[in-house]
Amino acid sequence: MATSRNGDTVVELKRHIGLFNGVTIIVGMIIGSGIFISPKGVLLNSGGSVGVAMLVWTLCGAMSVCGALGYAELGASMLKSGGDYAYLYEAFGPIPAFLRLWTLFLMIRPGVVAVLCLTSARYALQPFFLNCDPPEAAIRCLAAAMILLLTFVNCYSVRLSTWIQDVFSVGKVLALLVIIIAGVVQMAKGRTENFQNAFDTTDLTPVGIPLAFYSGLFAFAGWFGLNTLTEEIKNPERNLPLAIIIAILLVMVVYLLTNVAYLTVMTSQEVLTSGAVAITFADRVLGVMSWIIPVSVSVSCFSCVNGVILSCSRVTFVGARDGYLPDLLAMIHVNLLTPLPAVALLCPIALLMLTTNDVYRLINFLSAVRWLFIGLATATVPYLRWRRPDMHRPWKVPLVLPIIFSLVCAVVVAMSLYSAPVDVGIGLALTLTGVPVYCLAVWNNKPGWLIRFTASATRALQSTLLVVPQESPSSTPKNPQGTPPQLLSASKTQPEDTSSVSTYL
């Protein structure tokens, strides 16, 4: 626990995340199971053309760089955690920000955690069931154990959770390097026939190209995760933009080289018919060491889950601190200095989603909504340049880059609406369920019994969990006896003033 100059106890989130931690958090959140299992979405919608597919991968990486640079400017300018929630709040007000928060912590992130843990568990168990698929019950039990373990880790220590992210992110990059090196060896042996006439195709369609870009951009998603942790980054004005740039460029290079490696031993048709491209590659090239790839898929998904819990809990924490979620979620453990309630909230929702296969449909419903919010958040860069030209911006990007990415996101949403109008409509409907919840949050004249009940429940949970509201050194009350900070005496009856942005640290 930190202390201020006058010796008072200060309960706040500490700046434990350095440049290397930032890079590994982003890399860990971007590289999931997709690049190992099924990069065929890009190839399929590129008409089976190797050349067109590689061009799409390159352009998707370049467009992700455009969006990432926009987030780098926002993160360095607004030193507040919360990521796109905070940026939408600043530019467009509390309602779109709250709807992003609502879909993120209640539906999208718990669903992603459940799916990633199921995938990780399936591949972790696969070596023990060589002649059949692992039992579904065993997969779900192991997935639940993973959720509980990572929830405990993130509740216990930020340093431990970032250490896990460091180790596992390096591990998944090394696994991809094994594939890349094996591909280089195959090319050195003359295995280049699959790259001849690379741009020949008869199946390329105007509808397929946007779908190819959709698959590619999905594989790069995750570069925005570090922005949710701004208040815990050392020297964020420098390290946040650098971490984003280093991570996205690293992933872009690794993705391109990995796809080239796949095609040294597999034709485009074989890639399209393979259910797990990396595993097919390993079976043909790595021989007895092919077990490395299933283990790497499991490790990769596990690392992603850790990153999701780390980032999502901070968005929930900031939303509660702004007054739109229960006060308890904006509190910190007095000894561990972690946002324990915000971290723990994700656990039961994710565990509940393990019990149903509908979680896959839920994620599909909300995919277009996610790109809508990311595009809006990136659009705040030119909007704030216009509305707040004097805003402190230690890092500025050419305006054309975030504008291009925002337009790309608009195309992705429009394409989704055209190809799957029912799914997008359901996603928008699920998002709008947050409107009555927002109205309840800003309701000024709450009944007295409700205020008393929430205040009593908050105090009871504070005593049980040993959590208190975040403090800052400048506002810490005198406490000469060194006793723990007092429990919150009452809940807020209304959110903080929504006409201005919450105080930046």
The reported pLDDT for the residue numbered 52 is 87
| Tens-place pLDDT, residues 356-378 | 777 777 777 888 888 899 999 99
Residue 504 predicted with pLDDT over 80: no
Asked whether residue 416 is domain-assigned, the answer is yes
The reported pLDDT for the residue numbered 492 is 38
The reported pLDDT for the residue numbered 283 is 85
Residue 142 predicted with pLDDT over 60: yes
The reported pLDDT for the residue numbered 315 is 92
Question: 475 CB contacts (<8 Å, ≥6 apart)?
Answer: none
What are the φ/ψ torsions at residue 394 (nearest 5 degrees)? Answer: -65, -15
Which of these ranges, 23-32, 114-123, 267-276, has the smallest mean pLDDT?
A: 267-276
Q: Provide mean pLDDT across the span 464-485.
A: 56
Asked whether residue 482 is domain-assigned, the answer is no
The reported pLDDT for the residue numbered 33 is 72
The reported pLDDT for the residue numbered 48 is 80
Residue 481 predicted with pLDDT over 80: no
Asked whether residue 480 is domain-assigned, the answer is no
CB 382 within 8 A of CB 393: no
Asked whether residue 501 is domain-assigned, the answer is no
What are the φ/ψ torsions at residue 9 (nearest 5 degrees)? Answer: -75, 135
Number of structural domains found in the chain: 1
Q: Provide mean pLDDT across the span 380-405.
A: 92
Asked whether residue 493 is domain-assigned, the answer is no
| Tens-place pLDDT, residues 245-286 | 999 999 999 999 998 998 888 888 888 887 778 888 888 888
Residue type, 288: V
From residue 268, give the alpha-carbon distance in Å to each of 37, 41, 272, 385, 504.
Answer: 15, 12, 6, 45, 51
Residue 399 predicted with pLDDT over 70: yes
Asked whether residue 282 is domain-assigned, the answer is yes
CB 314 within 8 A of CB 340: no
Give 97's pLDDT tier (boundaries 50, 70, 90). very high
Q: What is the CATH number of the domain that holds 317?
A: 1.20.1740.10
- Maximum alpha-carbon separation in the chain: 79
The reported pLDDT for the residue numbered 490 is 33
Query: What is this structure's pTM?
Result: 0.85
Residue 294 predicted with pLDDT over 50: yes
The reported pLDDT for the residue numbered 284 is 86
Its domain, for residue 12, covers: 2-475
CA atoms within 13 Å, Cβ hemisphere of 495? 25
Please report, rounded to a whole number, the percentage of residues in the chain having pLDDT higher than 70: 91
Of residues 40 and 92, more confidence is placed in 92
d(CA 73, CA 236): 11
Helices and strands in the chain: count of H runs, count of E runs: 20, 4
Residue 488 predicted with pLDDT over 50: no
What are the φ/ψ torsions at residue 10 (nearest 5 degrees)? Answer: -120, 120
d(CA 221, CA 437): 28
Asked whether residue 445 is domain-assigned, the answer is yes
Please report, rounded to a whole number, the percentage of residues in the chain having pLDDT higher than 90: 37
The reported pLDDT for the residue numbered 472 is 60
Give 132's pLDDT tier (boundaries 50, 70, 90). confident
CB 24 within 8 A of CB 253: no
Give 163's pLDDT tier (boundaries 50, 70, 90). very high
Asked whether residue 502 is domain-assigned, the answer is no
Give 32's pLDDT tier (boundaries 50, 70, 90). confident
Question: 143 CB contacts (<8 Å, ≥6 apart)?
Answer: 114, 117, 118, 120, 121, 354
